[in-house]
Amino acid sequence: MSIFKNKLFWIAVIGAVVAIGFYLKPNKWEAYYQNKLGNPPHAVVVKSVGLITKGNAPLTAIDFGAGVGNEAVYLLGQGFRVIAIDSQPIAFKMMRSREDTKSYLGRLQTVESSFEAIDWKRLPQVDLFVASLALPFCKPEAFPEIFAETKSHIKPGGIFVGHFFDPSYQGFSEKDRQAMTFLNKDQVLDLFVEFEILHFNETKDAGKSGTGADIVSHIYEVIARKKGTGT
């Protein structure tokens, strides 16, 4: 069964469309994030953790576009050290106040930044790079550099997991689309020539956004292992 048939996953996707699509006003971020608290991690992220080669050293992860930390908290619970990146300070405030985060705060680092302004030199290579419903919201002119940095910050043998939007994705205004990156299937696959693709799923579904607008989602879901031998 397609992952999009999972009701909780579909709710998460709709939330991403509404929030990261740049048409929420700043004073509505808190209400939006409050609705996201406690959602389960995306199933593809859970799947990716099971594919990681575990060594003696503690595992590290970057959660790109972390929001209130539904993926980050799961990874912390799995023993990872997590660097959570997001542009909204309210997201980190709520993430750190979660009861299920408090016992893990020593292994959580937060980086407040837009995707385009990340200081990549300050970030380490990691075992797992999570980009759940995040990379499409990079500006197209910045995407090549951002994805090059993404790849370089994954250890040899490490895992990338994330989503990409096809150009046929409907539901964003033309203004919003100009600040986003859409890639067709071949373009997505071309991103991973230095990787072994472990999981690839393409899903297209119709539905409603959180504002009631009609959308047609067309998403590629990827888990890929960087070629080379991990330490």
Q: What is the pLDDT of residues 126-145, one digit of tens each?
A: 999 999 999 999 999 999 99
What are the angstrom distances between the C-alpha of 186 and each of 47, 164, 202?
23, 12, 12
Can you tell me whether residue 131 is helix, strand or coil?
A: strand
Can you tell me whether residue 2 is helix, strand or coil?
A: coil
Provide the CB-side half-sphere exposure for 125 (13 A, CA).
12
Better pLDDT: 43 or 230: 43
Q: Which residue type occupies 26?
A: P
Residue with tokens 């393409």: 202
Q: What Rg value do the Cα atoms of the chain yield, rounded?
A: 17
What is the rounded distance in angstroms from the CA atom of residue 54 to the CA atom of residue 20?
33
**Residue 24 pLDDT > 80, yes or no?**
no
**Residue 3 pLDDT > 90, yes or no?**
no
pLDDT of residue 92: 87
Q: Would you tell me how many other CB atoms lie within 10 Å of the CB of residue 76?
A: 23
Angle, vertex CA 8, rays to CA 115 and CA 116, nearest 5: 5
In the numeric block, which tokens belong to residue 193? 């020539």
What is the rounded distance in angstroms from the CA atom of residue 128 to the CA atom of residue 82?
9
**Residue 155 pLDDT > 70, yes or no?**
yes
What percentage of the chain carries pLDDT values higher than 70? 82
pLDDT of residue 53: 77
**Phi–psi pair at 196, nearest 5 degrees:** -100, 120
User: Is residue 220 within 8 Å of 164, Cβ to Cβ?
Assistant: yes
In the numeric block, which tokens belong to residue 4? 């999009």
What are the angstrom distances between the C-alpha of 24 and each of 2, 12, 33, 146?
29, 16, 12, 24
Q: Kindly report the pTM of this predicted structure.
A: 0.83
What are the angstrom distances between the C-alpha of 171 and each of 166, 211, 231?
12, 10, 43
